[in-house]
Amino acid sequence: VNCPNCGAPMNIVGDRGYFFCSYCGDFLFPNATADGVKVLGEDSSAPCPVCNRSLVSAVVADHAPVLYCRNCRGLLVAQSNFLHVVRELRAQAEGPEGRFHRITEDERRRSIFCPACSRQMDTHPYYGPGNVLIDICTQCQLVWLDYGELSIIINAPGRDRGQREFYA
């Protein structure tokens, strides 16, 4: 796959089916599925911790404010909203369960810096459903999710998934 922006060969990102151009920094998502993010479009002053473009304001689950990167499609969410969003989106989930996600060495090795305070974020396994590593700034109580991580969490098997009455 060649980069649509600069024409250089692109590298595939982990096992996730999307590509990164190490020459110009663009991402390409050939099979992008709706990730439920609605962009409001105001540029923030915060840089994306992965690709350094400006994050924009957006919402997930129709109401929870996040900062979103239009290039790599990662999102930054307050820890207090994160658990709420997960519970709500899992309760509303329809369609088939996701397949098991294997954490790659690249994911384990990566470290990023908090867009709000510039400290190194902690990389943690997420303790809820879905086998993903998430990046947390304990100082700012912010969580960074790479593209696809939220949908892995939402679509991981579990009794609360698709049970609207479970969620109050």
Nearer to Zn ion, 88 or 144 (CB): 144
**Looking at beta carbons only, is 45 or 94 nearer to Zn ion?**
45
Q: Minimum distance from CB of 65 to Zn ion (Å)?
A: 16
As given in the structure block, the two tokens for residue 81 are 């909203």
Torsion sign, CA atoms 140, 143, 147, 151: negative
> Residue 62 Cβ, how far from Zn ion at the closest point, in Å?
23
Q: What's the token pair of residue 38?
A: 């609605």
The residues, any chain, with a CB within 8 Å of residue 102's CB and separated by 6 or more, are 15, 131
Between 56 and 86, CB nearer to Zn ion: 56
Residues near 37 by Cβ (< 8 Å), separated by ≥ 6?
A: 58, 59, 60, 66, 68, 73, 75
Residues that bind Zn ion (CB under 5 A): 3, 5-6, 8, 21, 23-24, 26, 48, 50-51, 69, 71-72, 114, 116-117, 137, 139-140
CB of 94 to Zn ion, least distance (A): 29
Q: Which is nearer to Zn ion, 133 or 140 (CB)?
A: 140
Strand 11-12 to 27-28 pairing: unpaired
In the complex, what is the shortest distance from the CB of residue 37 to Zn ion, in angstroms, rounded to a whole number? 13
